[in-house]
Structure formats: C-alpha cells, structure tokens
Structure 1
Amino acid sequence: MDAAEPAELCFPQLFNSSCRKPPAPPSTATAVLVHVLLSFASVLTAVLNMLVIISISHFRQLHTSTNLLLLSLAVSDFLVGLLLMPVEILSSDTCWLLGDATCALYYIVGFIITSSSVGSVVLISIDRYLAVCDPLHYPNRVTLNRTKVCICLCWVCSSIYNATLILRNFLRQSDSHGACRGECVVILSNATVTVDFVVNFSAPITVIIILYLRVFAVAVSQARAVRSHVAAHQRSLAVKKSELKAAKTLGVVVVVFLICLCPYYAPTFMGQGVEESPSTSPFVLWLAYLNSCLNPLIYTMFYPWFRKSIKVIVTLQILKPNSYHAKIM
C-alpha cells in the first residue's frame, strides 16, 4: 500500500508537500455528457459574446451609450467563456500543474472579470434610470465620451481593487495555511470576504434594485397616462417608447444576473468565505458562469438588431466595403 501511495500524488517527488490527485471521474455516460455540455457551454458563451462584441464595435448605427455598456458586459462575459470556464473544467479532474503564481493570476483575473461585470450592470441600471426618469436631459448628460470614461474607470478600478486587496491577501496567507502543491485554492480572511461581499454584491445590488424600482414606477405611470388619453403637450414630455422597451429588455438581463449570482454569495450570509465554503458547490459556481451565456441569448430574443447583425456576420456580408454603414436598427 505504501509503495503505491506516491502514484496518487500530484508531485510524487515532493512526497511531504504534494497534494493527492483528485479521484478519477467515473467513465459513465452521465459524466461524459456533463463534460460535453460544460464544454459546449464554454464555446457557446465565447462565440455568442464575440458576436455581440463584433456587432456593436463594427456597425456605426449601434454606437450608442447603452450599447457601449452592453459591449463592456459582453467583453467580461466573453472572458468567462474563453478563460474561466475551460480552466474550471480542466482543474476539476486534474492536479494544478501551473504553479502558485499562475494560480494567483487565475483568481485575480476571475475576480476582475466578476467585478467588471457587476460594474457594467450597475452602469446599465444608471443609464436606464436617466433615460426613463429624466428623458429631457438624458442626451446631454449621457454622451459617448462620458460613457467610455465610465467604462474605463469601471475596469481600472476593478483591476486596482483586486490587485491590492485580494492578491495581497492571497500571497500573504498562501504559505501560512500549509497549502500543498498541486491544488489551486484561495483562502481569504474574514475581513476580505466582508469587503468583497459589500463591494461586489450587496452595494451594487442595492443600487440596481433601487434604480429599477424607480424605472418600473415611471413605466407604470406612463402606461396609465396613455390609457387615460393625456393631452398632446403632455405626451411630448413622455418617455420614448424605445427607451421603455430597452429598459424592459435590460431589466430581464438584470433579473437573470441576480438569479445567477445570488446563490454564489449565499454562504457569506452564514459567515463563510465564498471560495472556502463547502456549500459553494460546482453547480452554484457554474450557475454564475452560465449567466454570461444567457445574456446574448436574451439579446437574441428581444433585440432585432442583434439578430440582423448576426445574419450579416455569418453570411460574411460584414466583409463588404462600407459594411459598417449598414442599417441594422
């Protein structure tokens, strides 16, 4: 039995510090089907969000403030499908062979993507709030340049936050917890978990809910006004129908976002760290990841311009000269 034990280690030459290899997954039809589905979800997430990125970036008619925010969200969702999902699939069945530095980098990139995604959803909520609740001043307040600055600040602040708080905590505590070689885990202090919960979840979610409750109230009020046949001069001050439709569509994105992300942060309510909590099952983690695949599917259902742009891209009409002037909306 002792002679066979080194074969169960990730690094047999490091007997005292090596982790044991994870148990081999059962070679059943169910296990194979799960791996195929997860791999398909990863590819689908990357491809669909790449289509969103190409559509908004290429077609000039789609260069609006709201679509730039969707572009920022699509970039983070694309990185989830391209980086986080494949690594999660591979690391679930094998030892981590890329070293501690790469492990730390993987977690930092993951946190940056998550934070930027949350920030993009907050910006989308603010955009819809201003468009619906203050339509007269919206064109002057929300410009393309200001939107670009906000998006850049979102990504920069997310990077700085994770690099200074989470990475420093990871490097300081990795050796003190006796971690073995061959696994990639992050151990966060209670203070770090609390700060992360407030910054990445409770505070943004509170802002999103408050803003969308206000948007919903304005939409209901306008619907009642239309039914009561308001005067013509009052109709001129009403919110554009297209703005309300966009608010409803993006409201679906926000609701799906909350449904997918809430279970991931649920252990924090019980005083446990998200990553080190035994209740954070693979299902909960993949539910948070699958939100990145659902967003472009929502665009497909509710945005005719996205369906039309996909057709132009797939049929290679996008390669024609001056295709960026095509009428998509």
Structure 2
Amino acid sequence: MEALREADLCFPQLLNVSCLKPLQHHAENLSIYIVLSCISFITVTLNLIVIISISHFRQLQTPTNLFLLSLAVSDFLVGLLLMPIQILLTGGCWVLGSFMCGLFQFSSFMITSASVGTMVLISADRYLAICDPLHYPTKVTLKRVKICVCLCWACAVIYNGIIMKDFLKNPDIYNSCYGECVLLIDSLAGYFDIILTFLGPVTVIIVLYLRVFVVAVSQARAMRSHIAAVSVQGSLRITAKKSERKAATALGVVVVVFVVCFCPYFYPYFAGEELLSNDKILLIAIWIFLFNSCVNPIIYAFFYPWFRKSAQLIVTLHILQPQSCDANIL
C-alpha cells in the first residue's frame, strides 16, 4: 500500500507535502504527446520562416509586414516555450521548480498580451489603409510602426510585471503542495485584466474591421461601376486598392481566427466556478488558443505568394547567397 501510494505522488521523496498524480492512461497520453509535439514543431518551423523572410528580404519590409513580424515572434515563442511546457503539464505534475514556474506564468501572460496588442495594431493598420488611403503612406511609416511594436511589447512586459509582482517574488505562494504551479490574481485585478486584454481589444478589433468591410464593399462597387471608363493611371490606382483589399482580407481572416481561438480561453471566467475549476475544459481552452499560433502562418501560405516563394528560398538555402536580401519576392 505504501509503495502504491508513493507511485501516485509527484515527488515520492516528499511523502507528506507532495501533490498526487492524476489518473493516467499511458497509451492515450503517448498519442497526445506525439500530436501536441508535432503541433509545437510545426508552429516553431512555420513562424521561423515568417521571421526570416521579413527580416531578410528588403522587399518584404513594409509597415504591414512589420506587424506580421511582431505576431510571428509571439507565435514562435508560443511554439518554442509555452507549448513544450504545456505538454509536460499534461502529465499533471510541475517538475521544473519555482523559478521556471514564475518564468512560465509570466511568459504566458506577456506573450498573450503582446499578441492581443499586435492584433489591435494590425486592425488599425488595415483601417487606415482602406479608409484613409491618401494619408496612409504619411501616417504609417516604418519608423512609426517600429515604435508602436516596441511600445506594444514593452507595455506587455510592464503591465504583467505589475499585476504579477507578488507571484514573481514568491512563485510558490499559491501552491498547496509540491508539484503545482498555480497563479491566482485577486478579483479586482482579474476583472481589470479581462477588460484590458479581452473585452476592450476584441471590441476595438471588431469595430475597426466592420468599418473596413463596409468601406471595402463600397469601393468594390464603385470600381465595378466605373471600370470601363478608367484611364491607365486610374487602372494603377484600382490595382493598388485591390492589393490593399486583398491584404485586408488576409489579415481579416487572421484576426477572426484569433478571436475565435481567443474566446474559449476566457469563456470559463465568464461561465462561473464550475467550468473554471474543470481542469480538462481549461486545458482544452488553452490548447485552442495556443493552436492559433500554428494556424497564422498557414493562413499566410494560403493568401500570400511571397510567403511560399520566400519559404522555398529559405529551405533551399538560397538566402545564403550574396545579395539574396534584394531578391524579387513580390
């Protein structure tokens, strides 16, 4: 009986203070580990291609693509850091120690906040490009985009450092036994966090894209009605508008998928204690949100020919050739 009891503990050597292991089915767990590990690998690989593509090829270094680069960095960190640790957590025991517990929780919140902020920036970028195209090149410059992206990440670090300051000082403060990595936020800070990182950004994103959709539809109708009377210069303007609308469509899909994957992550907090205390539902919601980081580059591959072309050049190592950064990708 004593041997059986020790086998059920996360840390058998700490008999009186160790957490109990959850009941596990090893064959089922093995298949889950394999599937989740494949998702993590694909996420890291595809987002690394996006990062290398935009960073290496000068032709791709546009304001809009810099926002995509920021999103790809957060998705890359999800696949490299968060997914592998979440895979370990499917075993039910935290075995990485207090420091890694604090780092993991802080990284999870920080990367999530940076992703949400980047999505808001992407929506604002498409809003300006479609609704105010004449002033877009002067309002949205590379320098301003870089500043916005840096501020987004800096705010994510500072904000989460403030709301998690007590936890970061003592990552074991909320653990009831050894083998846990628990983070609790007081109700007031929790409500503020939900408004700031979920309700507020999602509302802004939806409003901006509804406006983009209405303007894009009206532009398409206007161009169809005047297509026979345009000059060559007008044709060029139409081509430019089509390009902007295509980019808006692609990024709109990215934003919609993000919101769809993001909502289950916060749904248990609105549904009450029953769902909030259900470990399986929380785990499924977390993995739906994490899976979004794998989906984004797949969307790029479907909508953007430059992604497929640059991926081919990267995989075949053509980027190692001199002056490859000036290659014609578009």
Deviation at 1:3, TM superposition (A): 5.3
2:82 and 2:244 map into 1 onto residues whose CA distance is: 34
Which residue of structure 2 lines up, in the alignment, with residue 184 of structure 1? 181
Q: Which residue is 2:245 aligned to? A: 244
Q: Which residue among 29, 45, 48 is the counterpart of 1:47?
A: 45
| 1:131 partnered with 2:132 | no
Residue pair 1:193, 1:273 contacting (<8 A) in 2 also: no
Looking at structure 2, the residues matched to 58 and 178 of structure 1 have their Cα atoms a distance apart, in angstroms, of 45
Q: How does 1:96-245 map to 2 (within 5 A)?
A: 96-168=94-166, 174-175=172-173, 177=174, 179-229=176-226, 232=230, 240-245=241-246
Q: 1 CA distance for matches of 2:289 and 2:329?
A: 31
Calculate the TM-score normalised by the size of structure 1.
0.92
User: For residues 275 and 328 of structure 2, what CA distance do their matches in structure 1 show?
Assistant: 46
Structure 2 Cα separation of the partners of residues 276 and 188 of structure 1: 15
Q: How much has 1:185 moved relative to structure 2?
A: 2.0
Task: Confirm whether residue 254 of structure 1 aligns to residue 255 of structure 2.
Answer: yes
CA RMSD, Structure 1 to Structure 2 (Å): 2.4
1:297 lines up with 2:298 in the alignment? yes
Whole-angstrom distance in 1 between the partners of 2:205 and 2:180: 36
Among all aligned residue pairs of Structure 1 and Structure 2, give the percentage whose two residues are the same amino acid. 54
Q: In structure 2, which of residues 69, 78, 81 is the aligned counterpart of residue 80 of structure 1? A: 78
Q: 1:290 to 1:197 in 2, by over 3 A?
A: same
**In structure 2, do the counterparts of structure 1 residues 178 and 169 end up closer, same or farther at CA, with 3 Å as the change threshold?**
closer
User: Structure 1: which 4+ aligned runs deviate by more than 4 Å?
Assistant: 169-174, 230-239, 271-279
CA distance in 2, matches of 1:259, 1:308: 29
Match of 1:15 in 2: 15
After superposition, the Cα gap between the structure-2 partners of 1:114 and 1:276, relative to the gap in structure 1 and judged at 3 Å, is: farther
| Rounded Cα–Cα distance in structure 2 between residues aligned with 1:194 and 1:273 | 18
More divergent stretch after superposition (238-247 vs 207-216): 238-247
Q: Normalising by structure 2, report the TM-score.
A: 0.92
Alpha-carbon shift at residue 17 of structure 1 (Å): 1.8
What amino acid sits opposite 1:215 in the alignment? Answer: V
Could you tell me how far apart the structure 2 residues matched to 1:216 and 1:108 are? Answer: 36
CA separation in 2, counterparts of 1:99 and 1:275? 25
User: Is residue 305–residue 328 contact of structure 1 (8 Å, CA) maintained in 2?
Assistant: yes
1:83-126 Cα offsets, whole Å, 9 max, x none, are 11111111211521222222011000011111101111110000
CA drift at 1:8: 2.4
**Gap runs ≥5 in structure 2:** none
Shift, 1:196, TM fit: 1.6
More helix by share: 2
Which AA in structure 1 matches 2:78?
V
Q: Identify the residue that residue 93 of structure 2 maps to in structure 1.
A: 95
After superposition, the Cα gap between the structure-2 partners of 1:151 and 1:275, relative to the gap in structure 1 and judged at 3 Å, is: farther
> Which whole-Å CA distance do the structure 1 matches of 2:74 and 2:248 have between them?
21
Which amino acid letter does the alignment assign opposite residue 190 of structure 1?
A: S
Residue 292 of structure 1: how far off its partner (Å): 0.3
Structure 1 residues 103, 274: closer, same or farther in 2, change over 3 A?
farther
* 1:326 equivalent in structure 2: 327
1:72–1:97 Cα change, 3 Å: same
Counterpart-to-counterpart distance in 2, 1:59 and 1:155: 23
Amino acid at match of 1:118: V
Residue identity matched to 1:248: T
**CA distance in 2: counterparts of 1:305 and 1:278, whole angstroms:** 41
Which residue identity is paired with 2:285? V
Structure 1 residue 173: Cα displacement? 8.9
Task: Say which is worse superposed, 189-198 or 212-221, in terms of deviation.
Answer: 189-198
Deviation, structure 1 residue 186: 1.5
The residue type equivalent to 1:196 in the other structure is D
Which stretch shows the higher mean deviation, 318-327 or 182-191?
Answer: 182-191
